[in-house]
A = this chain, B = another copy of it.
Amino acid sequence: MKLEDLIYQIKNKDSFLCIGLDSDINKIPKYLLNEDDPIFSFNKSIIDHTNKYCVAYKVNTAFYESLGAKGWVSMKKTVDYINNHYPEIFTIADAKRGDIGNTSKMYAQSFFVEMNFDSVTINPYMGSDSVKPFLEFENRIAILLGLTSNTGANDIQLKTTNNDDFIFMEMIKSSKDWGDKNNIMYVVGATKPVHIRKIRSIIPDHFLLMPGVGAQGGDLNEICKYALNDNIGIIVNSSRSIIYASDNETYASAAADQAMILQNKMKVILSERK
């Protein structure tokens, strides 16, 4: 997908919501376990009920891999279903991959070609040659970890360098020139609003993928204050608080209700900017 198509969709839907399909076989409604592919059945209903409120779906690969090859089948069916039925929606493989060049090239092949995702999240700890293979695909986007939403971000990302800057800031400063705003986005945790203004000062135009609203406690209005730009410039992800809104037959409509509530908040925020 071209970045401009994502921006068009955001403005058209008054939404910058991404729904995280962290679909866990132990958490989906029990009656679905009788289906051939319970995870895909769950995702399909969630997607059918929520797509008008969101602009992106994020597939967390860990939840699929926990079921082995069968999980990869469910993941492929899920992304194919989105691409075939809702081609305007932006798809994200939340895979946090990254390795030496010849190996990253294989991961790029996996997520961009074999699985046909629009984007994949990348762990940049191994540096430029681990990221660049993901930047060689037209209309595909590498989403680099900028600053993550968890407490462990303190252990490396928030260490201070001898240039008196945070590691995550130095990483963003170098990596923004490995590609451009059309093929790089950054993950910036919604639980860390204090850092967003500094991040925006060095990458005013790049899109930010912001997880951490909902179960992890991030505040939507707070992050929007610092993160929005002229093209909106953010995608806010919520996973558990949407997809597990109910654990019975009403799960898909309950998910739609939660998605609508978040989308309405986004609409208000966007209208106040006009």
Contacts and interface: CB of A to CB of B under 8 A. Distances in A.
A110 B159 CA distance: 31
A237 interface: no
Contacts of A63: 103, 106
A148 interface: yes
Copies in the complex: 2
Interface residues of A, number: 63
Contact of A124 (B155, B161, B162): B155
A210 to B, nearest CB: 14
Contact of A155 (B62, B106, B128, B149): B128
Contact of A156 (B69, B102, B127, B155): B127
A159 B161 contact: yes
Interface string A105-140: 011011000110000000111111111000000000
A48 interface: no
A97 interface: yes
A145 interface: yes
B65 A106 contact: yes
A182 to B, nearest CB: 22
A179 to B, nearest CB: 14
Contact of A145 (B76, B96, B125): B125
Given A148-B126, A150-B130, A107 B161 contact: no
B66 A106 contact: yes
Contacts of A149: 100
A73 interface: yes
Interface string A73-85: 1011000000000
A114 B66 contact: yes
A100 B239 CA distance: 13
A8 to B, nearest CB: 30
Interface string A40-73: 0000000000000000000010110111111111
A99 B161 contact: no
Residue among A24, A60, A65 with max Cβ neighbours from chain B (10 Å): A65
A98 interface: yes
By CB atoms of chain B within 10 A, which of A22, A66, A98 has the most?
A66
15 contacts: A62-B107, A66-B107, A67-B110, A68-B76, A68-B115, A69-B70, A71-B110, A96-B97, A96-B98, A124-B125, A126-B148, A126-B150, A159-B167, A161-B161, A167-B167
